[in-house]
Amino acid sequence: MQLTTKWLERSLEGRTMRGYLARPHAAGDRLLPTVLVIQEIWGVDEHIQDMADRFATAGYQALAPDLYSWGETPAALSQDRIQAVKKFLDTMPPQGWGDAAVREEHLSRLPAEEGNRIRETLGALFGQRDTDGMVRQLVGWVDWAASQGSPVVSVGYCMGGMLSFLLVTQDRRVRAAVCNYGRAPSEAQMAAIDAPVYGFYGGTDHGITDAVPSVAEAMQKLGKTFHYKIYPEAGHAFFNDTRVSYNVDAARDAWAETLHFFTEALA
């Protein structure tokens, strides 16, 4: 399918933010539902742009906000630096990605200058994040879609999965949220949710997945709609076909479930 793609810019709180937009070319200017495609920690890279394109191919207007672009993208979070980090992490097992000691052991094997650049970018990626600011950006993009009269749903991956879940605690205009292997908001935050949420998780991703039954219990207690699916053989980031973590069976099923979920929510 031929797509129309471009980068958009908007101003929020006096600072510029960017987003990657994809639409089916044959739809012309027709009003379409908007899917907010929320990035992993790697930014709006080739994988996230590809996911936006896939949603556009399915008949949506897909917008992937670049959450690192607000104001000015830090040098440590430029795409070439992030790509170098991804290549570095692929030299170790996925279980070590979030383990600072394991990462440091592998970093010590690199030339000093290269290791320092990767160490700086790792700190920017895995360090403290301005989550509130990221949610404000997402709400700003919901404003943009709403100004067109476009209904909005959200889907996110890893950090973006967490943000997709968190967004529906802050903005009731979002009609449904999909959380792919992301952490859930607090129970107090869940009380504000007015939309159905669907979570997809890898069975070997214990740091996140082990908490899912208690998330489901809390959502049920609050009278909220939460569906979830755990793929026993899959790990973290099973949707990302540019990484060694990709699991084709889990990704295929989660993709079909996501499209059905959005169709039902937007009916």
| CA–CA dist 174, 195 (Å, integer) | 7
Compute the Cα dihedral for 150, 241, 185, 38 and give only its sign: negative
Q: Where do the CATH 3.40.50.1820 domains begin and end in the chain?
A: 3-70+131-266
> Which pLDDT belongs to residue 95?
67
pTM of the full predicted structure? 0.95
185-244 pLDDT, tens digit each:
999 999 999 999 999 999 999 999 999 999 999 999 999 999 999 999 999 999 999 988
Active site residues: 158, 205, 236
Q: Which residues 6+ apart lie within 8 Å of 151 measured at CB?
A: 33, 34, 145, 175, 266
3-state secondary structure 18-30: EEEEEEEHHHCCC
3-70+131-266 is classed CATH 2.60.120.620 = no
| Percent of the chain whose predicted confidence (pLDDT) is above 70 | 99
Query: What's 94's DSSP letter?
Result: G
Q: What is the pLDDT of residue 174?
A: 98
- pLDDT for position 238: 96
pLDDT for 227: 98
pLDDT at 93: 74
Instruction: Pick the closest to residue 176 from 135, 142, 214, 215 (CA basis).
Output: 142
For residue 228, the one-letter residue type is Y
Positions in the chain whose pLDDT score sits under 50: none
Share the mean pLDDT of the chain: 95
